[in-house]
Structure formats: structure tokens, C-alpha cells
Amino acid sequence: MQGLIDRITSLPEWYFELGRIDVTFAILMLAGVIATIMSWKGRPGMLVGAAYVVVAVVLAYFMSFQAAVGLGMIASIAALLVPNIHPEHGTISWFNDPRARGLIAQIILFLLVTFGIYAMVTNTIVNLERQNIASGFGFLNQTAGFGINQTLIPYTEESTYGQTFIVGLLNTILVAIVGIFLATILGFIVGVARLSKNWVINKIAYWYIEVMRNVPLLLHIFVWYFAVLRAVPDKRDKWSLFDTFHLNIYGIWAPEPLPGPMFWMTVVAFLAAIVIAFILAKLAKARQMRTGETFPSFWVGLAIIIILPLAAFFATGSPLDFEHPKFVAEGPIFKRGFEFQSGLQVIPEFIALLLALSIYTAAYIAEIVRAGILAVSHGQTEAANALGLRSGPTLRLVVIPQALRVIIPPLTNQYLNLTKNSSLAVAIAYPDLVAVFAGTTLNQTGQAVEIIVITMLVYLGLSLVTSAIMNWYNSRIALVER
């Protein structure tokens, strides 16, 4: 008896003895099973739930958490064996009640998932402790000690692992956004060409699709990086365009823009011009719907977007300079070539990855566009021709707007695939998130669990954001039933 009293008086210390992980899963187990039992109508289920609470706490306290979990399974089955009291039909057998069968499946699934998560987490903690690996995210404040050849923010070898994560994330987002833009344009062009009545154009588009989408993406990347871009001049030579843009084995070299103090006014003018053009297009569309009269809102808006920023740019004294890349053609052979940190350099890894992702994904987008156009009834084209529209305006104003309702859902999948496929950049050492964070950072710190979890959450977040934007656009163009 005295031992029992001592155990009861030490109840506040129970939490620390049991461990936070066990307590967390015990609460989840209790909450899930009790909520299921309490959802039953009638006193028997409530009594079983109350009894389960008492017995489970006693078992978890005096014996072990595993005993409480076992009791949860037994109590769930016992609660389901209790006859269900229906408010209208009286007592019915639980086996013949669809709601009871559904609850059985939910409880079993909940128990299995809870046990799986518990086993995975506890096993991970035990293995980390066995290898003397400290868990946590404090490593993000430690000095990285390695350089990165493409950074969109200031970065040096003295930067932290947290800044390394940001650099890799921005590089991933950059190649994903530019790749989506190029793949969409190329895919739409090839998809329309696939339906061309010109035999040559049709067959070129056909073989482009068949060849590009049936070759693995990794091989696309290798071909562009190790074959195509290796055929350009070496670092001591260059190919030039207008003596302004240059290409060699180190990538593309171009003038780097250096904005002045007043350049922000040009940026504000450009954003204002976009807003004005958008409002103008809305007003023109409303006017056309009301009166039937058209207004060249596209060309007028384009003129506003060009003229207004240029006016602000020249009015503020042209606050933009360019630093041209410096090429050393003479002197010691090891000093010849472009000087680093001069001009704007686009590294060959970025070029190869971008071209491979865009060309590969465009083949799938082309088939999606072709299927969307074919889904539009041919009567729409005939009606447009009867109204005197030529083939170009018919495609742009009649067919494509209707085809978008079929194109957008599978197009979203291709955007997601392109973003996730960018992780193959590690094969050619492009410094994306996987290469510099899930690769170099993981190898130097050993924080495998934290880094992999962060990387997974980043790709999950990018996918959810992309899906949300595309779903919003899809809802905007969807047919509204009256």
C-alpha cells in the first residue's frame, strides 16, 4: 500500500520519466479512440469510453505505454461490439450498420498510422543517440566554409549554413520559373505545329515530341552539358555577338546592370504601367460586352508599359550603368580569359539544366496542347470561319480560350514535374537546393534528418504554391453555368 501511495504522490514526475514522445503518442491514441467511441449515440458507447480513459491512464502510469496502446485496440473492438442504439430504428447489429463498419476501418487505420509514426520516430532517436549525433537546427548558424559559383544574394565562404539554404532555394526557384516560361512557349508552338496542315511542319513537330519525351531527362542534361557546351571555345577564347555578349566554356558573359540611386522611380513607373494596362484591358472588355465595340487594349497597354518607364528613366537622368566583362587576350597564358567578378556570368551548369528541362517538358506540354485543341468541337472553328475570321484569329480568340479548360489541369502536373526534376542538377554540379544543402551541407554537418525534412518541406511548399496558382487560374477561366 505504501508503494502505491508513493507512486501516486510522484505523479508530477511521471511526464519526465515517461518521455515527451510517449506522452505525445499516448494523447493522440486516447484522443482518437475516445472521439470515435464518444461519437456513437447511446449510453453503452459513452460508458466504454469512460472506462477506457481510466484503465488506459492506469496502465500507462503503472505499466508501460505499450500496454495502453494494446488496451486501446481491445477497447475499440469492444466498443464496436456494443449494440448501436439508433434514434429511429432502435438497437441494430453493428455488423449491419455501415457507420459501424466505417468506424472499424478508421480506428484500425488510425492505430496503424500512429504505431508506424511512433516506431519511426523512436527508432530515429535511438539511432541518432547511438551514433552521438546531436539533433536540432542550431547548425544553420554555423559557418559553411565552402563557396558557391552562382548566388543571387551576397554569399562568401564565411556565410552560414542558413544562407547556404537560401542560396540553393533561390537557384532552384530561378531555374524552375525560367524553365516553366520557356517550356510553356515552346510547348504551345510545337503543339499547334503538330496540328498544322503543312506536312513538313507537322512531321518536324511529331518527331520532336517522339524523340524528346522518350529519352530520359538525365541523358538530356548530360548531352547539353558534356557534348553541346563542350564544343564552344575554351576559357582563353570566346564567341562574341555585337562584341557585347560572349560565350565560352565558362558560360555566357554579358554586361551587368548597375542601377543608380534614382532607378527605383523607373521600377515604380514600370509597375504602375502594368496596373494601368490591366485596368485598361478590363474596361475595354466591359465596353465590348456592353456595346460590341472593340478597343486595341493590347497594343495600347503595351505602349504604356514601354513608354511610361522610359519616360521616368530619362527624366531621372538615366540612372543605370553597365559593367562589361573584361577579357584578357594577351599576357601569361594562365591569366588569359575573362576576369571573374567582371560583368554578368551565366554558368554553363545553369544553361545545360535550363535547356534540358525546357526542351524535355515542352514535348509533354505540346501533346497536352494538341489534346486540348482537339477537344474543342470543330463546329466552333466552322462558326468562326462563317463569321469571316481568319485561321490566326480563330485559333487565338475562339479555339485556345476554350482549349485552356482542358489544358490547364495536366499542364499543372508538368509544371510540378519540372520543378521537382530540377533536383537532377546535382548530376552536373548546378548549385540548387539538393546540391548545396541536401548534399554538401549534409555531408559536412551530418544533420541528415533535419536537412532532408527541410528539403522535403521546400519541394512540398513549391508544389502547393504552384498548384494553388494554377487552380486559381483554372477557376477564372472555367465555364460558369447559369
- What span, in angstroms and rounded, lies between the C-alpha atoms of 322 and 255? 6
pLDDT, one tens digit per residue, over 347-392 is 889 999 999 999 999 999 999 999 988 888 888 888 888 888 787 7
**Complete domains list, the chain, with CATH:** 2-130 (no CATH), 161-255+324-477 (1.10.3720.10), 256-323 (no CATH)
**Strand extents, DSSP E, 199-335:** 239-241, 245-248, 251-254, 256-259, 320-323, 327-328
Least confident residue range of 47-56, 188-197, 346-355, 368-377: 47-56
pLDDT, one tens digit per residue, over 84-109 is 444 444 455 555 667 767 777 787 78
- Identify the pLDDT of residue 43: 46
Question: Would you say residue 15 has pLDDT above 50?
Answer: no
Concatenated DSSP letters of 240-262: EETTTEEEETTEEEEPEEEE-TT
Question: Would you say residue 9 has pLDDT above 60?
Answer: no
The single-letter DSSP state of residue 235 is: T
Q: Which residue has the cell 469510453?
A: 49
| 366 Rama sector, left if φ>0, alpha if ψ -120 to 50, beta otherwise | alpha
The pTM of the full predicted model, rounded to 2 decimals, is 0.73
Contacts of 181 (CB under 8 A, 6+ apart): none
State mean pLDDT over 33-51.
52
- What span, in angstroms and rounded, lies between the C-alpha atoms of 230 and 369? 34
Residue 217 contacts residue 421 (beta carbons within 8 Å): yes
Q: For the chain, what is the largest distance between any 2 Cα atoms, rounded to a whole number of angstroms?
A: 100
Instruction: Give me the amino acid identity at 206.
Output: Y
The single-letter DSSP state of residue 160 is: B
3-class DSSP state of 83 = coil
3-class DSSP state of 18 = helix
State mean pLDDT over 135-157.
84
- What span, in angstroms and rounded, lies between the C-alpha atoms of 150 and 283? 44
